[in-house]
């Protein structure tokens, strides 16, 4: 479920709380927190890297001596051809954030930009500086109109840059729904709308830092002196090289895809696009950051169940296989694994791991399990913290049960509804813009019994205390003909 929470929501909540406190202490001061929040709301859109309303990609993470070049407001028939020749001379990749109106008039220029190895982003159709004031429907129309212009050219941008980098509270829900992200910049040329060209390179070089996304303009300068503009661009490229700064593709710098060129992959869901971008660092995040506490518990539970549930089994269906953290050990213990996931990048990593370990019994299915139909019957169906993304879990469980052999097992680890889990749900909504669903033990048992499972064991784990019954549910459910189970649910749900 799309739920784009941002720091603005938290600041609003804190402002209201302080307002109520001050009403009691000194009513004359009660309006100050709300006034401060209002000032933040007005000022935030004009800071291209200020993540007040939405996540903004404006600089690289963990990069050393590298920057990315971006050019807005093109393509321009007088500037773009000469600009891409200059970039080729310096072997410099760039991303061109094009306007729909200009791309519609000059499609050959867009094709030429692509043929030179550069990428294309969406800069709205008209690039109006007042776009964020037009309202949600108008903003969406501008973005979608540009997407429609670019699609016949085989381009499906995932990166949107608002005109002048000015963003607002309406933007994130729109981008989430379109499977896009906002890519702004940390450093601009301070050219006053291409009016102040002399000294452009010096200004950028003076302020440039490692990891910067640099914004320039692919447009005729106000005075019409294109030669001087290109001279400054050339000086900038030479200056970066002399400083030992590498110019890298934007996608490499920010760790996010900028565009797709395969029609079959266009329009990714928010979940798919989030994990496509996260895929290269997913394993590191799971095992080397704060979330490793949860991952270690999941692995502990899985390892204990592995001989009981998976050893010697026939076909296994894994929902949300990701990079194969669980897929590989399952494959070593069973005849075949069908790994389903919405993220093509995660599945590519899984395939690479399987190839390295010479596991040939893993089959891949790219798609949403709620919409695709796995082929055949399975001895085991499993999911590891992927049911949280399922909109209609009762319907899915009922459908999956039809694919289980008699005596087959459904095994899953999933989020348990609790106080502590609520905080992680809020954090996830701020990071992904999605509300991950957590369920109670009673809900899970009701779904399973409704789907025809007769033997059900459900246990709670992770941070169990008097405040919370745990954050994680471990569920083992079998259709008729299986051996008796052990677990808390054998004594009835709590």
Sheet arrangement for strand 378-384:
362-366, 334-341, 313-319, 378-384, 404-415, 472-478, 455-461
Evaluate whether 379 touches 316 at the Cβ level (below 8 Å): yes
Q: How confident is the model at residue 491 (pLDDT cuts 50, 70, 90)?
A: very low
* Other residues' Cβ atoms within 10 Å of the Cβ of residue 93: 18
Q: How far apart are CA 93 and CA 250, in angstroms?
A: 8
Ranked by mean pLDDT, the top range of 280-289, 354-363, 366-375 is 354-363
DSSP structure class, residue 434: B
pLDDT-derived band at 448 (thresholds 50, 70, 90) equals very high
Q: pLDDT value at position 486?
A: 53
Tokens matching residue 222: 């106000």
Cβ atoms 83, 216 nearer than 8 A: no
Architecture per CATH, domain 280-491, reads as 3-Layer(aba) Sandwich (3.40)
Alpha-helical (H) ranges within 179-291 are 200-207, 226-242, 250-254, 270-278, 282-288
Percent of the chain topping pLDDT 90: 85
Strand partners, 364: 339
Listed range (158-172, 365-379, 408-422, 458-472) with the worst mean pLDDT: 458-472
pLDDT value at position 487?
Answer: 52
Q: Is the pLDDT of residue 385 over 90?
A: yes
Region of poorest pLDDT, from 20-34, 83-97, 115-129, 432-446:
20-34
**Per-residue H/E/C for 71-139:** EEEECCCCCHHHHHHHHHHCCCCEEEEECHHHHHHCHHHHHHHHHCCCEEEECCCCCCCCHHHCCHHHH
488 pLDDT band (50/70/90 cuts)? low
- Name 402's Cβ contacts closer than 8 Å, sequence gap at least 6: none
Q: pLDDT value at position 427?
A: 93
- Please provide the average confidence, as pLDDT, over all residues in the chain: 93
pLDDT for 467 beyond 90: no
**φ, ψ for residue 399 (rounded to 5)?**
-70, -40
Query: By C-alpha distance, which of 124, 77, 89 is closest to 220?
Result: 77
Q: pLDDT-based confidence at 490, cuts 50/70/90?
A: very low
> Class of 56-260 per CATH?
alpha beta
Q: How far is CA 469 from CA 170, 383, 414, 442, 444, in A?
A: 37, 21, 14, 13, 15
Q: How far is CA 295 from CA 57, 126, 222, 388, in A?
A: 27, 46, 56, 15
Measure the CA angle with vertex 68, ends 64 and 71; round to 5°: 165
Tokens of 338: 């069908």
Cα distance between residue 107 and residue 128, in whole Å: 21
Residue pLDDT, tens place only, 8-61: 999 999 999 999 999 988 888 999 999 999 999 999 999 999 999 999 999 997
pLDDT confidence of 156, banded at 50, 70, 90?
Answer: very high
pLDDT of the residue at 489: 44
Alpha-carbon radius of gyration of the chain: 26
Q: What is the pLDDT of residues 198-246, one digit of tens each?
A: 999 999 999 999 999 999 999 999 888 999 999 999 999 999 999 999 9
Local structure of residue 216 (DSSP, 8 states): E
Structure tokens at 179: 């499977």
CA dist 133 and 137 (Å) reads 11
Which string of DSSP letters, residue by residue, matches 269-292?
A: -HHHHHHHHHGGGHHHHHHHSTTH
Mean per-residue pLDDT for 342-369? 96
Please tell me the pTM assigned to this model.
0.90
Specify the 3-state DSSP secondary structure of 425: helix
184 band by pLDDT with thresholds 50, 70 and 90:
very high
In contact, 143 and 122? CB cutoff 8 Å: yes
List, for residues 266-317, the tens digit of each pLDDT value: 667 889 999 999 999 999 999 998 889 899 999 999 999 999 999 999 999 9
pLDDT at 408: 95
Determine the pLDDT at residue 492: 40
Cα separation, 168 vs 134, in Å, equals 11
**Where in the chain are the domains?**
7-46, 56-260, 280-491
Q: Quote the pLDDT of residue 263.
A: 58
Confidence check: pLDDT of 493 > 50: no
């Amino acid at each position: 479920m799309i739920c784009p929470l941002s720091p603005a929501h938290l600041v609003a909540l804190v402002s209201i709380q302080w307002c109520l406190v001050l009403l009691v202490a000194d009513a004359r001061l009660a309006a100050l927190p709300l006034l401060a929040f209002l000032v933040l709301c007005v000022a935030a859109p004009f800071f291209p890297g200020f993540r007040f309303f939405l996540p903004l990609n404006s600089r690289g993470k963990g990069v050393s001596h590298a920057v990315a070049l971006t050019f807005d407001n093109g393509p321009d028939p007088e500037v773009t051809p000469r600009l891409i020749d200059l970039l080729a001379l310096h072997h410099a990749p760039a991303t061109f954030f094009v306007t729909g109106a200009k791309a519609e008039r000059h499609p050959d220029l867009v094709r030429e930009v692509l043929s030179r190895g550069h990428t294309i982003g969406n800069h709205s159709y008209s690039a109006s500086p007042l776009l964020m004031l037009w309202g949600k429907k108008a903003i969406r129309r501008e973005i979608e109109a540009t997407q429609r212009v670019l699609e016949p050219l085989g381009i499906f941008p995932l990166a949107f840059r608002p005109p002048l980098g000015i963003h607002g509270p309406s933007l994130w829900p729109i981008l989430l729904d379109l499977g896009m992200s906002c890519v702004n910049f940390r450093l601009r040329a301070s050219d006053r709308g291409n009016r102040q060209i002399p000294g452009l390179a010096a200004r950028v070089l003076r302020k440039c830092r490692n990891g910067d996304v640099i914004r320039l303009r692919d447009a005729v300068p106000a005075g019409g002196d294109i030669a001087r503009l290109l001279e400054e661009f050339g000086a900038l490229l030479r200056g970066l090289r002399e400083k030992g700064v590498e110019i890298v593709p934007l996608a490499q710098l920010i760790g996010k895809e900028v565009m797709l060129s395969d029609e079959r992959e266009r329009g990714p869901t928010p979940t798919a696009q989030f994990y496509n971008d996260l895929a290269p660092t997913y394993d590191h995040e799971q095992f080397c950051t704060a979330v490793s506490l949860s991952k270690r518990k999941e692995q502990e539970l899985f390892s204990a169940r592995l001989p009981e549930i998976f050893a010697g089994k026939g076909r296994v269906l894994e929902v949300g296989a990701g990079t194969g953290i669980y897929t590989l050990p399952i494959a070593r213990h069973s005849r075949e694994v069908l790994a389903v996931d919405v993220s093509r990048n995660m599945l590519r990593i899984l395939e690479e791991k399987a190839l390295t370990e010479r596991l040939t019994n893993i089959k891949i299915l790219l798609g949403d399990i709620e919409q695709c139909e796995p082929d055949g019957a399975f001895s085991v169906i499993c999911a590891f913290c992927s049911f949280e993304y399922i909109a209609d879990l009762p319907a899915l469980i009922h459908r999956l049960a039809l694919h289980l052999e008699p005596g087959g097992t459904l095994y899953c680890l999933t989020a348990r509804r609790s106080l502590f889990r609520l905080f992680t749900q809020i954090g996830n909504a701020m990071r992904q813009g999605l509300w991950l669903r957590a369920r109670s033990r009673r809900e899970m048992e009701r779904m399973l019994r409704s789907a025809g499972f007769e033997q059900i064991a459900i246990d709670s784990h992770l941070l169990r205390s008097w405040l919370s019954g745990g954050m994680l549910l471990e569920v083992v459910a079998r259709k008729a003909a299986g051996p008796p189970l052990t677990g808390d649910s054998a004594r009835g749900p709590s």
